[in-house]
Structure 1
Amino acid sequence: MLTVVTPAASNLLTTVERARSLLGLGADVGTATALGRHIATASRVIADYCRRPFGVETLKQWGEGDVLNGIAFARTPVRSIASVSIGNADLGPDEYAIDTASGSLLRIGEHDVVLCWWTAPTIIYDAGYQLPTDSDAGDLPEPVERAAIILAGTYLAGAGRDPLLKSEDIDGVASASWYVPGAADQVLVPEVAQLLAPYRTFWP
């Protein structure tokens, strides 16, 4: 099981200034306001598509995992661990270790021997990325921020037009074709889906 103890302070995957710089947009207030709305929408769409938030959250995880090996963290990257407990007993920091390569928590015994957990622990930890601000780039993977900017720019460019219009040909006689989304079409920009592919999760 996984619950959020403290949600992320922000879920925005980029800022207006950073997006405007990449998209080559002007500094007028109207564009900035609209772009801010589209960034918020793009950030929500990407979080839903990847099945995870990206900002740093404090999480409580318990009651599941491979007790014979490492307990996989439901969210990564793990930034810090506040506590690890089994029943009412808290483990000391020398009794567990983070395996960064596998994204799991190992049980450590004497002489640094890796042990089985036998019982899944309760873990309270911080996980996620520092999201970019105008003064700090943070550590969000560049493809994720770029995907948010591309998607927000697409929303901005498509404002006022039929979102299902796929193509339009006006060459003597007007004709148009419309996009018919299927069940698997959650992000409509292929480049965005490609950028996000390594960051999609399917558990929990």
Structure 2
Amino acid sequence: MRSIPIGSAPVTVPLASVQDLMTDLGITDAQASDTLEQHLLDATEAVLAFIGRPILSQTWQDQVFVRHFPRTLSLLVAAYPVQKVLGIVRNGTALSQDEIDGLVIADETGEIFRPDAERPFWHPGRYEITYQAGYQLPATQDDGTALPGNIPRPIQLAVRRVAAAAYYAEGRDPSLKSESAQGIGSTSWVTPDPALGGLTPEAAGLVQRYQSPGTA
């Protein structure tokens, strides 16, 4: 299978809010927001790299080859969740809009099924599938209305956990996991794990289910 992005790639922005991170850290100083936003951006890039597949909304075109045997029950595209199938061309012939509208889409797995229960299998050939897939980022409409997006909460929480670990690591040896002072007590930190791409173990556990099968 070959997958080609159509149009510009989504701009990488923090996948969690500065306000939520400030709440996590117990910070009320608004002057810290710029530093925290950079931590969130760095954490976002680390989480996306760990997931290992595109998850932000974009238009794609996949080429899928269906063989005579074994028979194919579903066409599988590379990017998901699938928002909408825009077109399917088989051996140069496009499916009609009515056929496209009748497709059954398992959006969270990227599988596309025929609706015909008596003839559910896709015919052999080369398919070009154009579709929109991925999660929507928060946005603001022209009239000022805020759209929250639909980034899954585990992904947002993982970004916040990685950003928080980076914040606590400021000004200390990043390999230091704990310290103690006689008569005062001890303090420990959760540190990013290089084996997990710079994520903390908790963050990696939160987003593991979103990983590409070839990445896990």
TM-score when scaled to structure 2?
0.76
* Cα offsets for 1:140-163 (capped at 9, x unmatched): 111110111111111112112222
C-alpha deviation, 1:62, in angstroms: 0.7
C-alpha deviation, 1:19, in angstroms: 2.7
1:121 to 113, 116, 127: 127
Output the amino acid matched with 1:59: W
2:16 to 14, 17, 20: 14
The answer as to 2:158 corresponding to 1:147 is yes
What residue number does 1:199 align with? 210
CA distance in 2, matches of 1:22, 1:65: 49
C-alpha deviation, 1:65, in angstroms: 6.4
Gaps of 5+ in 1: 173-180
Conserved 8 A contact 1:81-1:123: yes
What residue number does 2:75 align with? 71
The CA RMSD measured in Å over matched residues stands at 3.0
* Cα offsets for 1:121-150 (capped at 9, x unmatched): 111111111123583332111111011111
CA distance in 2, matches of 1:72, 1:32: 41
Task: Rate the CA distance shift 1:99–1:28 in 2: closer, same or farther, 3 A.
Answer: closer
What residue number does 1:175 align with? none
C-alpha deviation, 1:59, in angstroms: 1.0
Percentage of pairs with the same residue: 25
CA distance in 2, matches of 1:35, 1:165: 21
* Cα offsets for 1:183-204 (capped at 9, x unmatched): 7332441111111121111259
Output the amino acid matched with 1:104: E
TM-score when scaled to structure 1?
0.80
CA distance in 1, matches of 2:193, 2:164: 23
Task: Rate the CA distance shift 1:133–1:143 in 2: closer, same or farther, 3 A.
Answer: farther
1:1-204 correspondence to structure 2 within 5 Å:
1-6=2-7, 7-29=9-31, 31-64=32-65, 68-96=72-100, 97-100=103-106, 102-108=109-115, 113-132=119-138, 135-169=146-180, 184-203=195-214
Conserved 8 A contact 1:69-1:117: no
Conserved 8 A contact 2:63-2:129: yes
Equivalent position SS for 1:79: strand
CA distance in 2, matches of 1:27, 1:15: 15
For these two proteins, the number of residue pairs brought into alignment is: 196
Conserved 8 A contact 1:50-1:199: yes
Gaps of 5+ in 2: 141-145, 184-191
Equivalent position SS for 2:147: coil
Equivalent position SS for 1:123: strand
Conserved 8 A contact 2:56-2:134: yes
Task: Rate the CA distance shift 1:18–1:93 in 2: closer, same or farther, 3 A.
Answer: farther
CA distance in 1, matches of 2:66, 2:157: 33
Output the amino acid matched with 1:43: T
CA distance in 2, matches of 1:24, 1:15: 14
Task: Rate the CA distance shift 1:34–1:78 in 2: closer, same or farther, 3 A.
Answer: same
